[in-house]
Amino acid sequence: MSIIRPVVKQQGTTKVRPVFDASARQVGSPSLNQCLESGPNLLELIPSLLLRFREHKYGIVAAIEKAFLQISVRPEDRIFLKFFWWNGKENVDPKIIRHARVVFGVKSSPFLLEAELEHHLKKYLKNSTYNQRTIDILLRSFYVDDLITSLDNESEILPFIEESYHILTEGKFNLRGWKYTGDDDPEQVTSVLGLIWNRREDELKINLDWRKYTNLKLYRRELFFPLHIEFVILSGFYVLSS
């Protein structure tokens, strides 16, 4: 039996996201997450996604609405997704409810979504009226529920958006929140994999609040971490040592 906690995010389309705390456990017993395989490390996809995002002239991003909730859990596995539901009334026992869908907070959920998207998209390879280039781009452009890619020509953008939307809709995934270089949205700043993307200037910036560090006495260790300088040093060390 696990608990659900809210995660509040002021930016984005979903302000409050209920998270199934699959890491909660009793003393002497493993949590659900400790019993599950997380699958491949999806963080390794981020560098290649960012490179492809900057490869062509027009960057494009979108996101799948409530992506995890579009995937059903087998009935025999739903027993592991139980939680208490209390309606707020006194002297009324809480109900025990089971999730029937993949939920946010279970460590295998991101991989399950990636696998489901790949399975759905591969059905269109070589046996579809859709543009095969669109299928190939979609197969290489998802990080969990986020689509990140780029195109060479402005004339390709709207056909790509329309075709991608229909392809994902056939799998019950609603691909929405489209943003691209040069669009007419008055809000020209978008978050892309933790970076800040100014679509008007087509610039990427690190999402870091420097004001937190202006009045602090910093040591070298504290200074290097927010600048990620340790990555450069370690990379150079490994290159030289090899």
- Convert the pLDDT of each residue in 34-47 to its tens digit: 999 999 999 899 99
Mean pLDDT, residues 220-226 taken together: 55
Nearest Cα to Cα of residue 51 among 150, 161, 129: 150
CB 175 within 8 A of CB 158: no
Q: What is the pTM of this model?
A: 0.77
In tens, the pLDDT along 52-100 reads: 999 999 999 999 999 999 999 999 999 998 888 877 777 888 888 899 9
Q: Give φ, ψ of 50 to 5 degrees.
A: -65, -35
| Per-residue pLDDT at 114 exceeds 70 | yes
CA 165 vs CA 2, 57, 64, 83, 203: distances in Å? 35, 21, 10, 34, 26
